């Protein structure tokens, strides 16, 4: 039986951090923003090419906000769009019978990343109240070395060691990402 997975990230490009897992799991990928940042140019097409080459698919939330929209929504204390995302993600987890979800970690560095993690955790909690099916919930850091993990989390962590070919594909994807 194939594992059903969802990847939820705040911005395009974050999928590169978990490229090996992306290829192995082929999740539906939810992206909160288009990655336009201060340039005003969306990076969603670059991410779409990465997903296609890895065999992953865009999810129903896929760059629907600009980065500015995300931050203005947070600064305006407008919680409704985020609550709607929690409900939509929880419904997808249940409907798609998701086994595993992964996404940005809460690192206190970027409020968009932290909000993404809060959305994921809230959706998983909501599902756990409605279903007895266990859902593995993983986060990954975006800053610092990717091979660092606090000792108290190592037993519950998922570690992938990429072979030379997988590492070469990841490097190529990163180097070709505008």
pLDDT in tens, the chain (178 residues): 468 999 999 999 999 999 999 999 999 999 999 999 888 899 999 999 999 999 999 999 999 999 999 999 999 999 999 999 999 999 999 999 999 999 999 999 999 999 999 999 999 999 999 999 899 999 999 988 877 877 887 778 888 889 999 999 999 999 998 8
pTM: 0.94
- Give 3-state DSSP helix, strand, coil % of the chain, rounded to 5: 50, 15, 35
User: Please, which residues bridge with residue 28 across strands?
Assistant: 6, 57
d(CA 116, CA 33): 10
d(CA 142, CA 18): 10
Residues in the chain: 178
CB within 8 Å of 93: residues ≥ 6 apart: 6, 101, 123, 124, 127, 135
d(CA 168, CA 177): 14
Contact 11, 110 (CB under 8 A): no
Closest among 130, 65, 63 to 91, alpha carbons compared: 130
d(CA 19, CA 56): 10
Phi and psi based region of residue 9 (left: phi greater than 0; alpha: psi -120 to 50; beta: remaining): beta
Contact 25, 5 (CB under 8 A): yes
CB within 8 Å of 41: residues ≥ 6 apart: none
pLDDT value of residue 2:
66
pLDDT value of residue 1:
44
């Amino acid at each position: 039986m194939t594992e059903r997975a969802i990847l939820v990230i705040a911005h395009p490009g974050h999928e590169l951090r978990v490229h090996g897992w992306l290829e192995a799991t082929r999740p539906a990928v939810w992206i909160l923003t288009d990655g336009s940042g201060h340039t005003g140019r969306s990076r969603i097409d670059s991410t779409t090419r990465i997903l296609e080459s890895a065999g992953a698919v865009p999810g129903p939330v896929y760059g629907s906000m600009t980065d500015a929209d995300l931050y203005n929504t947070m600064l305006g204390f407008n919680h409704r769009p985020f609550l709607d995302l929690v409900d939509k993600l929880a419904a997808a987890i249940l409907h798609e019978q998701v086994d595993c979800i992964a996404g940005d970690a809460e690192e206190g560095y970027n409020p968009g990343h932290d909000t993404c993690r809060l959305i994921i955790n809230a959706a998983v909690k909501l599902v756990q109240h409605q279903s007895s099916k266990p859902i593995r919930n993983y986060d990954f850091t975006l800053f610092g070395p990717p091979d660092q993990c606090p000792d108290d989390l190592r037993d519950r962590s998922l570690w992938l060691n990429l072979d030379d070919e997988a590492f070469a594909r990841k490097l190529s994807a990163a180097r070709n990402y505008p």
